[in-house]
Amino acid sequence: MAKKYSTLDKIEVDLKDNVYRGIVMPNSDSKTLFLKLESGYNLGILSKNIKKIKLIKKVSKNKTQSSHKIKHNNNLPLISILHTGGTIASKVDYNTGGVISRFEPEELIGMFPELEKIANIESIFISNIFSENLRFRDYKKLADAIEKEIKKGVKGIIIGHGTDTLHYTSAALSFMFDHLPIPIILVGSQRSSDRGSSDAALNLINAAYFIANTPFKGVGICMHKNIEDDSCLILPPLKTRKLHTSRRDAFKVVNSNPIAEVNYSKNKFIMFSKSENEQGTWKVKAKFEEKVGILKVYPNLNSKQIESFKGYKGLIIEGTGLGHISTDNSPENKKIFNTLKKLSKNCVIVMTSQCLFGRVNLNVYSTGRDLLKIGIIPGEDMLPETAYIKLAWLLGNYKKQEVRQMISKNLKGEINKRLDLEFL
Amino acid sequence: MINYKELGFKAGLEIHQQIEGRKLFCHCPALVNDENIPNIKFKRKLRAIAGETGEIDQAAKFEMSKDKEITYEACSSSSCLVEYDEEPPHELNKEALEIALQISLLMKCKIVDSIQFMRKTVVDGSNVSGFQRTALVGTDGFIETSKGKVKIETVCLEEEAAKKIKEENNSITYRLDRLGVGLIEIATHPDIKDAEHAKEVASIIGMILRSTGKVKRGIGSIRQDVNISIKGHSRVEIKGFQDLRNIPKTIENEIHRQNKTKDELPHVRKANPDFTTEYLRPMPGSSRMYPETDINVIEITKEFIDSIKLPELISEKTMSIKEKYNINDNLARELIKMGIDFESFVNEFPKIKPDFIANVLVEMKKDIQTRNKKEVTMQMIQNALSYYNEGKIGKDAVYEVLVDFVLKGDTDLSKYKQIDESEIEKYIKEFISKNKALTFGALMGEIMNKYKGKIDGKKASELLKKYLKP
């Protein structure tokens, strides 16, 4: 049967013993036709069961125009929202269920009307990708866009970002920029914004509120403090990790403290720590070394896995406990040690811990001392992800000898020499 | 008398029935009333979201205008991250789907080829996510009633909402034990002829639902919403009937009310226990549903449908045991209601008359339970009946044995041992000769007392009559 209809057309489908009327859904394929009935329900009909299809009405091009007109308010600061992708600032196409992104300021204000009272909003599209698909070149692209906005003289920048690798991007931005003159807040969302319960609005509004009112300069992450729609935390970009697959408060500070707590509806925010705010003109170094990897240690590890990093300039080991990898005298583990030893001649190897919380210490057990002997550098209390971004950035911008010195030195707050009792 | 035809009366029903088992999209038990004290509490706000046309849903807007703070209370025994909207839904509970298919097939519905769960916007806070997950399973069925066929438009499988606990000015509290419990929604065509017919249709649908044996029972487990309209007036939905029996009177009152008022916008009303109704909220708009992308489309193959076993309807079962075993209507209905497989009892105790078995299972059980305030278990009944079936005790001893079981946990069979007729005969003869002045009743009393449980009353009376003859 020749197809007489297209997606979103209204049709009547004649089956053997009943008739359905509805709108053709885009997830239809040659096997199953999906219809949206007048009741709003979608259902699938097997093509082989269809006797006849009658076209009722061709789809009319739906002109969705936002009725919202934004007025510039001279009393409010200017905030730029850069969109990189993810669920924040995306909308569901209620016809198809697919996610469409909304990047026009009018659309944003339409979705989050509170923003209009906080700042004048600029909205800039950078990319629309899931954060697990980001590459180093995307960091560069983002840095370029930020530069442009800083030069424009904005009060601050909000970056809408997928949550999966948000903490890698926050680390990358922290290392790339020196002496940032403005706050740059990364915002994600764990619940899609099609639903009334989405966390997107609170995160975005609180981020804007923080930027508009803070003296803070530097990078931060703004996400729910807990599972309530109340406060958000501004989290440190180098000491934060996604620790839950789905909760609103998935992002937790590791080995440090939040920067601030923000509550727009109660009109307050509390600063917990000051920004470094060293004097100096801001500059950007956006190069990253591509040949850097992460290796996780686990029982029965095979030395072949380490061999696969041959030719790499840098390697982060996510060791067990205080920072260990299987290196005793058993033939398999001996091979691991020898492979590591060989690799470390041309590759900067840094030990971190899969415990995440706490500091590595290679002096407590002899296994650790052996690792030190072959040149493995203890990564202090750095998160493995942060250490990875730091190492790639260092190798992209400095000589190897410098890198070996800098990796275990605190540059931007990624290393905390004094750990307190804070733990989950 | 209301002339329904003249009024242009149109009515359809929407029935919601909770199902047993686990919740629809997580692994929590389908508890609707968790007895535990809530150990989890959190606050949320819901935002109105523009629909597909860019317009905020009418019903959603109404709720948002109230700008409420929502508090959720939960017990970890009956809810998890899925209910808190902190985790995506798990895979659909397959058993619930099978129940929905059973019900659809019992109502002669066409089953859709592919089921797609939808998100139905709900902004009153009763769904933590801001939407209810719902799917169309069957369409275009019918049921037979005394006033002809009533078409079943749709059978849907959906999530139950949270329970409202408290509502104050700007805050509302829900409890989450019930959220996510499977719900079957059945919508009839406006084929209902009059107020009384609405009750009949509701009760037939209820009977079909209970026939599966897998739906919840008790207060709140089934809810009937009635949609009615009369000429010159918009459609009104009445929700919240406490009892099926309230339907006809409430409909009549609503008709009277509408006749006295001007046409209003279509809206939802609440049924009050005094058969009146009150305004609840505007009718939800139609642009409130879009696909639930976290749940895969479920293909319903012919093989799957063929594998679904259909239960015998309660109405048919009642008829069949009533006729087959010649027991009265009431007993038959009670047996079915209690979910007893009567046939297997009859087969197990071939020497006992079916109507006596039915009596023990229903009346005797009830009687002993009320008198002693203790439960008579099926095992006790089984044991007592098998003693009788094997001739270890007489018919009258069944009651006594059950009482022993209930009070002492055991019985002494020797107490009820059937004694030789000749021995009793001898005693009766002697007793009568010594007490000639006693009436038949007094004699009977004395004998039954002496041989309690050991002789059948009928037998004793026969013997007495034999020797009382001059």
Which residues, 6 or more positions from A67, have their beta carbon under 8 angstroms from its beta carbon?
Answer: none
Q: Confirm or reject contact between A257 and chain B (CB < 8 A).
A: no
β-pair type (A314-319, A348-353): parallel
The A residues from 31 to 60 touching B (CB cutoff 8 Å) are 32, 34, 37-46, 49
pLDDT in single tens digits along all 424 residues of chain A: 456 788 889 999 999 888 999 999 888 888 999 999 988 899 999 999 999 999 999 887 655 555 566 788 999 999 999 999 877 766 666 666 666 666 677 777 877 889 999 999 999 989 888 899 999 999 999 999 999 999 999 999 999 999 999 999 999 999 999 999 999 999 999 998 878 899 999 999 999 999 999 999 999 999 999 999 999 999 999 999 999 999 999 999 999 999 999 999 999 989 998 766 667 889 999 999 999 999 999 999 999 999 999 999 999 999 999 999 998 999 999 999 999 999 999 999 999 999 999 999 999 998 899 999 999 999 999 999 999 999 999 999 999 999 999 999 999 999 999 998 888 7
Intra-chain end-to-end CA distance of chain A, in Å: 61
Q: Which residues contact B464 (CB under 8 A, 6 or more apart)?
A: B428, B432, B440, B443, B444, B447
- DSSP of B321-355, one letter per residue? HHHHHT--HHHHHHHHHTT--HHHHHHH-TTS-HH
Q: Report the pLDDT value the prediction gives residue B414, as an integer from 0 to 100.
A: 83
Catalytic residue among A84, A163, A165, A339: A163
Percent of chain B exceeding pLDDT 70 equals: 95
Q: What does the pLDDT read at residue A275? A: 66
- Judged by a CB distance cut-off of 8 A, whether residue A14 touches chain B is no
pLDDT of residue B242: 84
What pLDDT, on the 0 to 100 scale, is given for residue B52?
Answer: 42
CB B331 within 8 A of CB B358: yes
Return mean pLDDT, chain A.
Answer: 91
Gap from A94 CA to chain B (nearest CA, Å): 5
Select from A106, A64, A102 the least CA-distant residue to A85: A102
Q: How far is CA B347 from CA A43, B320, B329, B333, in A?
A: 47, 16, 21, 20
CB atoms within 10 A of CB A276: 11
In the prediction, which pLDDT does B288 show? 73
The Cα–Cα gap between A150 and B401 comes to 92
Supply the pLDDT for residue B57. 53
Distance of residue A174 Cα from the nearest chain B Cα, in angstroms: 30
Contacts of B116 in chain A (CB under 8 A): 34, 41-44
Contact B299 A229 (CB under 8 A): no
B412: left (phi over 0), alpha (psi -120 to 50) or beta: beta
From the candidate CATH numbers 1.10.3720.10, 3.50.50.60, 3.30.1330.10, 2.30.30.520, the one assigned to the domain spanning A10-57: 2.30.30.520
Confidence of residue B53 (pLDDT cuts 50, 70, 90): very low
Q: Indicate if A381 belongs to the active site.
A: no
A15–chain B Cβ distance below 8 A for any pair: yes
pLDDT of residue A221: 98
CATH 3.40.50.1170 in chain A, residue ranges = 78-284
DSSP A76-88: S-EEEEEE--SST
Q: For residue B456, what pLDDT is reported?
A: 76
Contact A246 B115 (CB under 8 A): no
Token pair of B361, please?
Answer: 């299972």
A163 noted as active-site residue? yes
CA pair distance A232, A206, nearest whole angstrom: 7
Cβ separation of B49 and A42 shorter than 8 Å? no
Give the C-alpha separation, B245 to B377, whole Å: 32
Task: Chain A: give the shortest CA distance to residue B275, in Å.
Answer: 30
Q: Read off the DSSP letter of residue A292.
A: E
Query: Which residues in chain B have their CB less than 8 angstroms from residue A229's CB?
Result: 43-45
Write the ipTM: 0.90
Q: Please report, in angstroms and rounded to a whole number, the separation of the first and last CA atoms in chain B.
A: 67
Return the CATH fold of A292-406.
Rossmann fold (3.40.50)
Q: Which of B385, B284, A403, A254 is nearest to B377 (CA)?
A: B385
Burial B143-166 (b: 16+ CB within 10 A, else e): bebeeeebbbbbbbbbbbbbbeee
pLDDT at B95: 96
Check A41 against B299: CB less than 8 A apart: no
Q: Which residue has the tokens 């290393």?
A: A415
Residues of A in contact with B290 (CB under 8 A): 92, 94-95, 97, 194
List the catalytic residue out of A242, A252, A313, A390: A242
Asked if B136 and A226 come within 8 Å (Cβ–Cβ), the reply is no
Reported pTM = 0.83
Torsions phi, psi of B155, nearest 5?
A: -120, 125
Q: Mutating which of A8, A35, A41, A232 best tests the B interface, going by the most B Cβ atoms within 10 A?
A: A41
B51 contacts in chain A (CB < 8 Å): 94
The helix (run of H) or strand (run of E) holding residue B199 is: helix B195-211
A93 among known catalytic residues: no
Average pLDDT over residues B162-172: 91
Query: Which residues of chain B lie closer than 8 angstroms to A42, CB-CB?
Result: 116, 118, 136, 289, 291
User: Average pLDDT, stretch B106-119?
Assistant: 96
10 Å Cβ neighbour count for B167?
12
pLDDT recorded at residue A61: 64
Query: Residue B425, Cβ neighbours under 10 Å: how many?
Result: 13
Question: DSSP readout, B399-466?
Answer: HHHHHHHHHHSS--GGGGPPPPHHHHHHHHHHHHHH-TT--HHHHHHHHHHHTTTTS-HHHHHHHHHH
Best to test chain B binding among A39, A203, A245 (most B CBs inside 10 Å): A39
Of the candidates A377, A359, A271, the residue with the CA atom closest to the CA atom of residue A321: A359
Set of chain B residues whose Cβ sits within 8 Å of the Cβ of A34: 114, 116, 297
Question: What distance in Å separates residue B72's CA from the closest CA in chain A?
Answer: 10
Nearest CA-CA distance, residue B9 and chain A, Å? 22
Q: What are B230's two structure tokens?
A: 């009369």
Distance CA A83, CA A160 (A): 5
| Chain B nearest C-alpha distance from A191 (Å) | 8
Query: In chain A, what residues touch B81 (CB-CB under 8 Å)?
Result: 246-247
- The answer to whether A180 touches A282, Cβ cutoff 8 Å, is yes
User: CB–CB of A238/A174 below 8 Å?
Assistant: yes
Residues of chain B found within 8 Å of residue A93, distances taken between Cβ atoms: 52
C-alpha angle with apex B191: B189 to B193, nearest 5 degrees? Answer: 150
Chain A closest-CA separation from residue B280 CA (Å)? 21
Look at B114 and A43 and tell me if their CB atoms are within 8 Å. Answer: yes
Residue A422: half-sphere exposure toward Cβ, Cα within 13 Å = 12
Using DSSP, state whether A184 is helix, strand or coil. Answer: strand
Among candidate residues A312, A366, A377, the one with its CA nearest the CA of residue A339? A312
- Tell whether A189 lies on the interface with B, counting CB pairs under 8 A: no
Residues B316/B318/B324/B327 CA torsion (nearest 10 deg): -160
Which of A:307-336 have CB within 8 Å of B?
none
d(CA A175, CA A171): 6
CA-nearest residue to A194 within chain B is B49
Q: Are B138 and B107 in contact (CB under 8 A)?
A: yes
* C-alpha span between B188 and B139 (Å, rounded): 10
| Contact (Cβ atoms closer than 8 angstroms) between residue A352 and residue A384 | yes
Distance CA B142, CA B190 (A): 12
Q: What are the residue boundaries of the structural domains of chain B, listed by start?
A: 4-306, 314-416, 421-468
Contact criterion met (CB < 8 Å) for B118 and A198: no
Q: How far apart are alpha carbons B107 and B23 in whole angstroms?
A: 24
Interface residue A230 vs chain B (CB under 8 A) = yes
Distance CA B103, CA B204 (A): 12
B228-280 pLDDT, tens digit per residue, is: 999 999 999 999 898 888 999 999 999 999 999 988 899 999 999 999 999 99
Q: Report d(CA B346, CA B368) in Å as an integer.
A: 22
Interface contacts (A, B; CB < 8 Å): 133
The closest CB to that of A18, out of B47, B110, B115, belongs to: B110
- Spatial neighbors of B411 by CB under 8 A, at least 6 apart, are B400, B401, B404, B405
Q: Is position A320 annotated as part of the catalytic site?
A: no
Query: To the nearest whole angstrom, how far is the Cα of A361 from the nearest Cα of chain B?
Result: 36
* CA A385 remoteness from chain centre: 12
Residue indicated by tokens 């009277």 = B256
Residue A96: predicted pLDDT: 64
Taking only the tens place, the pLDDT of each residue in A326-357 is 989 999 999 999 999 999 999 999 999 999 99
pLDDT number for residue A155? 97
pLDDT at B281: 87
pLDDT at residue A101, as a whole number: 66
Alpha-carbon torsion angle A407, A413, A414, A417, nearest 10: 80
Check residue A104 and give its pLDDT: 75
Q: Which CATH number fits domain A78-284: 1.25.40.420, 1.10.287.180, 3.40.630.30, 3.40.50.1170?
A: 3.40.50.1170
Is residue A28 less than 8 Å (CB to CB) from chain B? no
What confidence tens digit (pLDDT) does each residue in B296-330 have? Answer: 999 999 999 999 999 988 888 888 888 889 888 88
Please give the single-letter amino acid code of residue A377. Answer: I
